[in-house]
Every structure is written in C-alpha cells, then in structure tokens.
Amino acid sequence: MDHAYCVVLTTTNSKDNVNAIVDSVLANKLAACVQILPIESHYLWEGRVNNDREFLLLLKAKAADYTALEAAICAAHAYEVPEVVSLKVENGSSRYLDWVKAVTR
C-alpha cells in the first residue's frame, strides 16, 4: 500500500466541541468516518500535571487531505494547542478503503 490513507487523532473535553469538529470535517468531506471514545488524559501543560476527562476522535481520511483536515480541526477546536496527529494506514480492507475514497473529496 502506498500510504494513501490515514487515521487522524484529536481530543477535546466537551461534547459541543466534538460536534463542531465532526460537523465541519464531514460537511467538507475531509473524513469518511469519525469515531468518538471517552478517555482520561494525563498530560503536562504550563508546568503542571493535569488529568481530564476527554473525548478521543479517530478520523478516517485520505492522506492527501491531511493538511485541509488539520486546518478544519484547528478552526473548530476549542483548545489553544489541539492534538492533531496522523497515523499512516499500512494495510486495510480494500473495500473499506475504496469507500473512504468514494465518500471524501
């Protein structure tokens, strides 16, 4: 596989922000699917250890759309420094990846 697809991760702490991000990326066909999981995050911020309940968003997309997808996530995001990380898809069901390609821009 030529790494034509990716899974992008981001987190946020409110359902309203989740909905804003999801609405933006799906309306602009930058992701084919967004899965949302409740998580607990422990992280360093401004010299302190923090612990928050958040939502992890897993966005399935074409790698070629990553730059636009990142911009859309950041524009809709409530965090000062949002997590936006892309993981290359090494392998995947061709039928699933064909669907991702068909429903995104």
In this prediction, residue 2 carries a pLDDT of 67
pLDDT attached to residue 72: 98
Quote the strand ranges of 1-105, DSSP E. 5-12, 33-45, 48-62, 85-88
10 has pLDDT over 80: yes
Neighbours of 22 (CB within 10 A): 16
| pLDDT score, position 3 | 83
The model carries a pTM of 0.94
Task: Give the CA distances from residue 100 to residues 15, 68, 92, in Å, rounded to whole numbers and listed in that order.
Answer: 25, 16, 11
pLDDT digits (tens, 9 = 90+) for 35-92: 999 999 999 999 999 999 999 999 999 999 999 999 999 999 999 999 999 999 999 9
Reply yes or no on domain 5-103 having CATH 3.30.70.120. Answer: yes
